[in-house]
């Protein structure tokens, strides 16, 4: 790829990778915590049937995000325009953003479901949100590193 990268190419690389990251973390959440461990459904404030339907909708949305994001990344790769460092950074930012949004907004603000239905949720909440924060921090570190590499490679 050329040393001088157009801003829209950087932005497309970041958007595509973030979309994949959000979709992958939604899949991890849905497969492990909704299906395998059966801790909850996406929406637990109704019948089991409604809970299963909402899990199906979440699954459909995550698949659309992953597939759309990968098609965007493949198109950038085909054009030799993928900004790999930024893409990896935003993949992790997408993972962490989904995790924190789910932990704070879905679990606490909207109360769609809890991490687990136990008496003391605090250890689960801390672990869930700490994992999301860690993923965000990894993404921020990689983004900073990618930006510094770009400046070094272009002689800025």
> pLDDT per residue over 60-95, tens digit each?
999 999 999 999 999 999 999 999 999 999 999 999
Residue 2 lies in a domain: no
The pair of three-digit structure tokens given for residue 25, joined into one six-digit string? 């973390």
Residue 155 lies in a domain: no
Alpha helices in 2-121, H assignment, sequence order: 7-28, 48-78, 84-101
Residue 119 lies in a domain: yes
Full domain range(s) for residue 110: 7-150
What Å distances lie between residue 108 and 84, 111, 121, 153, CA to CA? Answer: 35, 5, 11, 44
Distance CA 73, CA 81 (A): 9
Residue 35 lies in a domain: yes
pTM over 0.75: yes
Domain count, the chain: 1
Residue 156 lies in a domain: no
- From 144, 151, 108, select the one nearest 128 (Cα to Cα): 108
Q: What pLDDT digit, counting tens, does each position of 32-48 carry?
A: 999 999 888 899 888 98
């Amino acid at each position: 790829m050329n040393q001088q990268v157009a801003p829209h190419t950087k932005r497309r690389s970041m958007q595509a990778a973030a979309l994949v990251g959000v979709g992958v973390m939604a899949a991890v959440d849905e497969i492990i915590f909704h299906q395998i461990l059966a801790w909850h459904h996406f929406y637990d404030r109704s019948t089991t049937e409604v809970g299963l339907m909402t899990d199906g909708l979440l699954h459909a949305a995550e698949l659309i995000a992953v597939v759309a994001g990968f098609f965007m990344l493949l198109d950038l790769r085909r054009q030799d325009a993928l900004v790999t460092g930024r893409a990896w950074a935003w993949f992790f930012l997408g993972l962490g953003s989904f995790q924190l949004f789910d932990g704070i907004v879905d679990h606490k603000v909207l109360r769609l479901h809890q991490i687990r239905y136990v008496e003391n949720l605090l250890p689960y909440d801390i672990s869930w949100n700490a994992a999301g924060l860690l993923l965000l921090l990894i993404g921020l570190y990689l983004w900073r590193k990618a930006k510094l590499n770009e400046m070094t490679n272009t002689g800025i």
